[in-house]
Chains A and B, each alone.
Chain A
């Protein structure tokens, strides 16, 4: 069974801190790994990673994939209260069967002023 595990499940830090969120996976026919940010409603897309070792960056957020060790990390530097959200990791597989994403449970990040 395909599995995506995120850690920690929740995290409380102060504004200005740097956080690292983890996502490990066990899937057959890995195609890509996606990170989403979910505030009150629908998830919004952050990154998609397909190649190992190549960092994707967007402002204070960055992410990298390790296909050998089967994990990804999402880094947020100089955190702000607006970064408070649930961060979801999802893995997309190729081949037959469901063509959707397998999601982890998410990391609930709270940034305190």
Chain B
């Protein structure tokens, strides 16, 4: 299993540009999440999904959009990039069903700079 994969690893965007951060998992997990981590801070939840076709907002959803057309993929879209979106983005997944632990597995992260 590759686990959770993210592309790209690094990206520099100009203000106002758009991009999609890709996330895929091959563990047949039903739950997937997007977090951002700013320097010296903990992770903040942007969006999450409990299954294909179902998404919901987290703590900091403004400026982002997601879709979940398959169980495996959960892309995150930035429509009009702003400097405040400079951060490291982590995708995670977990299997929720039956008994815990509902451990989350994280991807390697995408470092995004908006200038």
Mark A residues whose CB is within 8 Å of B.
4, 6, 32, 34, 41-45, 48, 50, 88, 90, 92, 98-106
Contacts and interface: CB of A to CB of B under 8 A. Distances in A.
Contacts of B104: 34, 45, 100-101
Interface stretch (B14-22, B70-78, B79-87, B106-114): B106-114
B109 A88 contact: no
A49 to B, nearest CB: 10
Interface of B: 31, 33, 35, 40-45, 48, 50, 56-59, 90, 92, 96, 100-109
Q: Which 10 A-B pairs have the closest CB atoms?
A: A103-B42, A42-B106, A100-B45, A103-B43, A48-B101, A98-B58, A105-B42, A100-B33, A41-B108, A100-B48
Given A100-B35, A100-B58, A45 B45 contact: no
Nearest to B4: A42
Contacts of B57: 98
Given A98-B59, A99-B48, A100-B48, A45 B103 contact: yes
Contacts of B31: 99
A101 B45 contact: yes
Given A41-B108, A100-B35, A50 B100 contact: yes
A48 B103 contact: yes
B102 A43 contact: no
B90 A42 contact: yes
Contact of A32 (B35, B48, B58, B101): B101
B100 A43 contact: no
Contacts of A101: 43, 45, 104
B107 A42 contact: yes
14 contacts: A32-B100, A32-B101, A34-B103, A42-B107, A42-B108, A43-B43, A45-B105, A48-B101, A90-B42, A92-B102, A98-B45, A98-B56, A99-B96, A105-B41
